[in-house]
Amino acid sequence: MPRRPGDDRREEIITEAATLFARNGFHGTSMDDLGTAVGMSGPGLYRHFAGKEAILSQMLIDISRRLLAGGQERVRQHQQPRDNLAALVNFHVDFALDNPELIDVQVRDSDAMSVEDQRTVRRLQAQYVALWVEAIVQVWPHTSSATARAAAHAAFGLINSTPHSARLTRPEMSHLLQVMATAGLAAASGVE
């Protein structure tokens, strides 16, 4: 799909908004704050977005789409169940380490979106979780879908909570998260 004029500016606004929302919260950030961050007036932002809620919605829908597309790509690239699951874990670890602000905003401010946009995000997230559930059950076939779903969410919680507290180098933190998430998923397979 060809890029439209203004796409780069919209992405810049979303990137700056993620930083400000993560630091100050959605409600603690004004359109003027966002405008200042991107070098334009607050009212100038309305040429790109209908308002602050629209920026938040676009941000969170975009990250949900990126996670789903990235997960689907990893699944297509790997035929062996263990390789498939490892690729999903590695992908999510990289995403979390690269995007701690987006994770903060998702956790704290998603309720500021419209109900319709919240449904869109939940639908995309459910599809992403389904990739993990299938991968977990393929590796450990005796694991129920309910346990696999709970294990996937627990792995997300572990991975997503760590980027801000990381005291290791990026490669060390990435390795630690991959090992811990994989071990946690394996342990969950023995719960039933």
Q: Which tens digit of pLDDT belongs to each residue from 121-172?
A: 999 999 999 999 999 999 999 999 999 999 999 999 999 987 666 688 999 9
Taking the C-alpha atoms of 135, 138, 140 and 143 in order, what is their torsion angle to the nearest 10 degrees? 80
With beta carbons less than 8 A apart as the criterion, state whether 134 and 70 touch. Answer: no
Instruction: Reply yes or no on whether the pLDDT at 1 is more than 60.
Output: no
How many whole angstroms separate alpha carbon 110 and alpha carbon 115?
10
Q: N- to C-terminal Cα distance for the chain? A: 46
For residue 166, what pLDDT is reported? 66
How many whole angstroms separate alpha carbon 50 and alpha carbon 105?
19
For the domain covering 7-189, report its CATH number.
Answer: 1.10.357.10
Is the model more confident about 13 or about 166? 13
